[in-house]
Amino acid sequence: MRWIIASFTIIVIIVLASALMTIERSRLPAEIKFASSDVFTLDPQRMSYMQDLRISRSLFDGLCSHDSQTGLPTPGVASSWETSPDGKTWTFHLRPDARWTNGDPVTSVDFRNAWRRLLLPDTAADYSELLFPVQGARQFFAWRTNALTQYAAGKNHDAESANALWQLTLSTFDQLVGIRTPDPQTLVVELESPVPYWLDLCAFQTLAPIHQASLDKFTKIDPASGLLKSDPGWTKPGVLITNGPMKLVDWKYKRVMRLESNELYVGPNTPLATSVEVIPIEDANTAVLAYESGSIDWISDLTAEFRADLAESSRKWLDRHREEYELRIGAGASEDEALAALPAPDPALGERRDVHVLSAFGTDFWSFNCRALLSNGKVNPFADARVRRAFTLAVDKVRLTTSVTRLNEKVATTLVPRGSIDGYVSPAGLPFDISRAREEMAKAGWIDRTGDGIVENADGEPFPIVDMLYMTGNPRVKNIAIALASMWRDALGVNCELRGKDGKFAKEDLRRGNFMIARGGWYGDYADPTTFLDLAKTGNGNNDRAFSNARFDAMLEQAALELDPAKRFEILENAERLLVEEELPILPLCQYVTLYMYDPAKMRGIIRSPRLDQRLSLLRRVNEQSESSSP
Amino acid sequence: MTSFIIRRLLQLPLVLFAVVVVTFALIWLIPGNPMLQEGRQPPQEIVDAMNRQYQLDSPVRFFGGYLARVTGAGWVMGWNDAPFDLGPSMRNPDWTVNEIIGAGFPISATIGLGAIAIALVIGTIAGLVGGLRPGSWLDAGTQLIALIGISVPSFVTGSFLIVLFAAKFRVFPIAGWGTPAHAFLPMLTLSLPFAAYIARLLRFGLVEQMTTDHLRTARAKGLSRRQAAWRHALKNAFLPVLSFLGPATAVAMTGSFVVEKVFAVPGLGRHFVDAVLGKDITLVMGVVLVYAVLLIVLNLVVDVLYAWIDPRINLTSEGSR
Number of CB pairs < 8 Å for A and B? 196
**With contacts defined as CB-CB under 8 Å, which chain A residues touch B270?**
254, 282
Query: Is A249 a member of any domain?
Result: no
With CA atoms as reference, report the closest residue to A206 among A427, A525, A610, A531: A525
Query: Is A312 a member of any domain?
Result: no
**With contacts defined as CB-CB under 8 Å, which chain B residues touch A253?**
92, 95, 99-100, 103-104, 266, 271
Contact indicator for A127, A48 with CB cutoff of 8 Å: yes
What CATH number is given to the structural domain containing A184? 3.90.76.10
With CA atoms as reference, report the closest residue to B230 among A589, A608, A2: A2
With CA atoms as reference, report the closest residue to A277 among A76, A98, A35, A33: A33
Helix, coil or strand: residue A621:
strand
Residue at B99: amino acid letter: E
**C-alpha dihedral sign at B275, B279, B283, B286:** positive
The per-residue pLDDT for B319 is 44
Q: Residue B46 and residue A41: Cβ atoms within 8 Å?
A: no
**Mutate which of A278, A504, A511, A545 to disrupt the B interface (most B C-beta within 10 Å)?**
A504
- B94 interfaces chain A, CB cutoff of 8 Å: yes
What CATH number is given to the structural domain containing A517? 3.10.105.10
The per-residue pLDDT for A3 is 62
**With contacts defined as CB-CB under 8 Å, which chain B residues touch A122?**
49, 53
**Mutate which of A12, A22, A285 to disrupt the B interface (most B C-beta within 10 Å)?**
A22
Helix, coil or strand: residue A431:
coil
Answer with the one of A213, A239, A265 that is the final residue of a domain.
Answer: A239
Q: Residue A129 and residue B43: Cβ atoms within 8 Å?
A: yes
Task: Report the residue from B103, B174, B308 with minimal CB separation from A253.
Answer: B103
**With contacts defined as CB-CB under 8 Å, which chain B residues touch A292?**
167
How many angstroms separate the first and last alpha carbons of chain A?
73
Q: Residue B178 and residue A23: Cβ atoms within 8 Å?
A: yes
CA distance B16 to chain A (A): 26
CA distance B118 to chain A (A): 9
Q: How far is CA A602 from the centre of its chain?
A: 27
Contact indicator for A161, A171 with CB cutoff of 8 Å: no
Q: How many domains does chain A have?
A: 2
Residues A583 and A440 in one domain: yes
Query: Is A415 a member of any domain?
Result: yes
Q: How far is CA A206 from the centre of its chain?
A: 13
Exposure letters B118-148 (e unless 16+ CB within 10 A, then b): bbbebbbebbbbbbbbbeeeebeebbebbee
With CA atoms as reference, report the closest residue to A384 among A469, A433, A455, A487: A455
d(CA A170, CA A147): 13
Q: Residue B94 and residue A235: Cβ atoms within 8 Å?
A: yes
Query: Is A15 a member of any domain?
Result: no
Radius of gyration of chain A measured on its C-alpha atoms: 27
CA distance A253 to chain B (A): 7
Residue at A59: amino acid letter: L
**With contacts defined as CB-CB under 8 Å, which chain B residues touch A523?**
39
Residue A579 lies in domain: 360-593
Query: Is A234 a member of any domain?
Result: yes
Among A336-345, B230-239, B251-260, top mean pLDDT goes to A336-345
For residue B321, name the pLDDT band (cuts at 50, 70, 90). very low
The interface residues of chain B toward chain A in range 142-201, judged by CB-CB distance below 8 A, are: 159, 162-163, 166-167, 170, 173-180, 183
**With contacts defined as CB-CB under 8 Å, which chain B residues touch A512?**
none
- B93 interfaces chain A, CB cutoff of 8 Å: yes
Distances in whole angstroms, Cα of residue B143 to Cα of each of B118, B131, B199: 18, 10, 8
Q: Residue B106 and residue A22: Cβ atoms within 8 Å?
A: yes
Task: Report the residue from B53, B162, B163 with minimal CB separation from A227.
Answer: B53
For residue B297, name the pLDDT band (cuts at 50, 70, 90). confident
Q: To 10 degrees, the CA torsion angle through B186, B189, B190, B195?
A: 140
Contact indicator for B149, B193 with CB cutoff of 8 Å: yes
Q: Residue A286 and residue B308: Cβ atoms within 8 Å?
A: no
Helix B59-71 with B2-29: angle, nearest 10 deg = 150
CA distance A40 to chain B (A): 5
The per-residue pLDDT for A24 is 55
Distances in whole angstroms, Cα of residue A405 to Cα of each of A285, A468, A470, A474, B249: 18, 18, 16, 12, 44
CA distance A473 to chain B (A): 12
Answer with the one of A220, A239, A258 that is the final residue of a domain.
Answer: A239
Q: Residue B266 and residue A292: Cβ atoms within 8 Å?
A: no
User: Strand locations in A11-104, DSSP E?
Assistant: 32-36, 64-66, 73-75, 78-83, 89-94
Query: Is A183 a member of any domain?
Result: yes
The per-residue pLDDT for B175 is 81
- B311 interfaces chain A, CB cutoff of 8 Å: no
d(CA A517, CA A533): 19
d(CA B115, CA A213): 47
Strand partners, A80: A93
Task: Report the residue from A15, A124, A253 with minimal CB separation from B49.
Answer: A124
Contacts 24+ apart (CB under 8 A), A601-608: A601/A339, A601/A340, A601/A353, A601/A627, A601/A628, A602/A297, A603/A32, A603/A297, A603/A298, A604/A336, A604/A337, A605/A272, A605/A273, A606/A298, A606/A336, A606/A356, A607/A68, A608/A335, A608/A358
pLDDT digits (tens, 9 = 90+) for B176-189: 888 888 899 999 99
Helix, coil or strand: residue A503:
helix
d(CA B291, CA B276): 14
Strand partners, A162: none
Strand partners, A411: A590
The per-residue pLDDT for A630 is 41
Contact indicator for B120, A8 with CB cutoff of 8 Å: yes
CA distance B293 to chain A (A): 19
pLDDT at B299 over 60: yes
Answer with the one of A206, A239, A272 that is the final residue of a domain.
Answer: A239
Q: To 10 degrees, the CA torsion angle through A160, A165, A171, A173?
A: -150
The per-residue pLDDT for A628 is 44
d(CA A224, CA A79): 44
Query: Is A281 a member of any domain?
Result: no
Q: Residue B166 and residue A293: Cβ atoms within 8 Å?
A: yes
Task: Report the residue from A148, A253, A280 with minimal CB separation from B100.
Answer: A253
Non-local (6+) Cβ contacts of A10 within 8 A are: none
Q: How far is CA A225 from the centre of its chain?
A: 33
d(CA B86, CA B16): 14
Query: Is A218 a member of any domain?
Result: yes
Distances in whole angstroms, Cα of residue A513 to Cα of each of A119, A388, A389, B47, B274: 31, 16, 20, 20, 27
In residues, how long is chain A?
Answer: 631
**C-alpha dihedral sign at B151, B154, B156, B160:** positive
d(CA B13, CA A339): 64
pLDDT at B248 over 50: yes
Q: ipTM for the complex? A: 0.88
In residues, how long is chain B?
Answer: 321
Contact indicator for A513, A371 with CB cutoff of 8 Å: yes
The interface residues of chain B toward chain A in range 24-53, judged by CB-CB distance below 8 A, are: 30-32, 35-50, 52-53
Contact indicator for A510, A375 with CB cutoff of 8 Å: no
**With contacts defined as CB-CB under 8 Å, which chain B residues touch A471?**
38
Contact indicator for B90, B96 with CB cutoff of 8 Å: no
The per-residue pLDDT for A402 is 95
**With contacts defined as CB-CB under 8 Å, which chain B residues touch A55?**
none
Which residues of chain A have a pLDDT value below 70? 1-8, 11-12, 14-27, 624-631
Q: What percent of chain A has pLDDT over 90?
A: 83
Distances in whole angstroms, Cα of residue A580 to Cα of each of A430, A484, A574, A584, A594: 7, 18, 10, 5, 24
Contact indicator for B160, B149 with CB cutoff of 8 Å: no
Q: Residue B92 and residue A15: Cβ atoms within 8 Å?
A: no
Strand partners, A496: A466
Task: Please spell the DSSP secondary structure of B165-225, one letter per residue.
Answer: IIIIS--S-SS--SSHHHHHHHHHHHHHHHHHHHHHHHHHHHHHHHTSHHHHHHHHTT--H
Non-local (6+) Cβ contacts of A114 within 8 A are: A44, A45, A207, A208, A209, A210
By CA distance, what is B119's nearest residue in A?
A8
**Mutate which of B45, B48, B53, B124 to disrupt the A interface (most A C-beta within 10 Å)?**
B53
With CA atoms as reference, report the closest residue to A358 among A320, A412, A302: A302
d(CA B171, CA B179): 13
Q: Residue A19 and residue B308: Cβ atoms within 8 Å?
A: no
Furthest C-alpha separation in chain B: 86
Q: Residue A145 and residue B43: Cβ atoms within 8 Å?
A: no
With CA atoms as reference, report the closest residue to A411 among A391, A428, A387: A428
The per-residue pLDDT for B320 is 40
